[in-house]
C-alpha cells in the first residue's frame, strides 16, 4: 500500500502544459504541495499559489529538498536546463489509460499522457514527454528530454536522441535513428537516419536546415 507521504509531489512550471500533468497527478491520487514558475504572474495554474522559480538570485533560495518534482514545461531545452539546476528527486506521471509494457523502462521526471502506448523492451529516458495518443513500438530508445507529440508513431527499433521533438502525427519507420536536438515536423514521414540538430519536414521527410549549436 502506498503511503500518503509518497503521494505528494511538486510541480515546476505553471503554464498550459502543467494543466495536463496536474490532471494526471490528481487522477492518480497525488497531492500537489507546491507549484513554481519563473514568471508566476503569467500562469494558468489558478488553483494554487505559484512561487518563483530558479532564475536569478532564486537559485540559492530554492527549496531543493522536499517532495519529488515534475518539471511541467513543454520546451525541451528549458526542461533540461531546469533539471540541471535542481538538486531534487523527480517523480513520474503516467495517465491511467496509457498502455505500458512491463518490460519497458521509464526514467525519472518523465510524463506519459492519456492513450499513449509504450511497447516491450523500450527504454524511455529522463524528463521525456510522451504525449496524448503517442505510439512507441518495441525496442525503442528515447533519449532524455525528448518529446513525442500527440499521435506520433514510432515503429520498432527506433532511436530518438536527447532533446529531440517528434511532431504531431509524425511517423518514423523501423530501425531509424534520429539524432539529438532534432525537430521532426508535424505529419512528417521519416524514412532514414537523421543527424543531430536537424529540422525535418514533409513526406518523405527532408532536412530543411541544421540548428545552430552555439
Q: Which residues are catalytic?
A: 138
Helical ranges in 52-153 per DSSP H: 58-61, 76-85
For residue 51, the cross-strand partners are: 36
Coil, strand or helix: which one is 207? strand
Distance CA(21)–CA(19), nearest Å, equals 5
Q: Name the residue among 135, 95, 101 with its Cα closest to residue 117.
A: 135
Cβ atoms of 142 and 123 within 8 Å: the answer is yes
Helical ranges in the chain per DSSP H: 16-27, 58-61, 76-85
Give buried/exposed letters for 39-54 (b at 16+ CB in 10 A, else e): eeeebebeeeebbbbb
Residue 168: count of CB within 10 angstroms of its CB: 16
Amino acid at each position: 500500500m502506498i503511503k500518503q507521504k509518497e503521494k505528494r509531489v511538486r510541480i515546476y512550471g505553471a503554464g498550459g502544459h502543467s494543466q495536463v500533468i496536474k490532471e494526471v497527478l490528481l487522477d492518480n491520487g497525488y497531492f500537489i504541495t507546491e507549484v513554481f514558475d519563473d514568471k508566476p504572474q503569467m500562469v494558468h495554474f489558478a488553483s494554487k499559489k505559484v512561487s518563483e522559480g530558479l532564475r536569478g538570485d532564486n537559485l540559492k533560495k530554492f527549496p531543493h529538498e522536499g517532495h519529488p518534482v515534475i518539471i511541467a514545461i513543454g520546451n525541451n531545452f528549458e526542461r533540461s536546463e531546469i533539471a540541471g539546476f535542481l538538486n531534487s528527486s523527480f517523480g513520474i506521471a503516467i495517465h491511467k489509460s496509457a498502455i505500458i509494457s512491463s518490460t519497458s523502462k521509464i526514467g525519472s521526471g518523465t510524463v506519459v499522457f492519456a492513450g499513449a502506448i509504450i511497447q516491450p523492451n523500450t527504454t524511455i529516458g529522463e524528463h521525456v514527454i510522451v504525449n496524448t495518443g503517442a505510439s512507441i513500438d518495441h525496442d525503442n530508445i528515447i533519449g532524455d528530454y525528448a518529446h513525442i507529440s500527440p499521435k506520433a508513431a514510432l515503429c520498432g527499433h527506433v532511436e530518438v536522441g536527447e532533446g529531440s521533438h517528434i511532431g504531431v502525427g509524425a511517423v518514423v519507420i523501423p530501425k531509424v535513428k534520429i539524432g539529438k536536438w532534432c525537430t521532426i515536423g508535424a505529419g512528417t514521414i521519416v524514412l532514414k537516419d537523421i543527424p543531430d540538430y536537424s529540422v525535418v519536414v514533409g513526406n518523405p521527410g527532408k532536412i530543411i536546415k541544421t540548428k545552430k549549436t552555439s
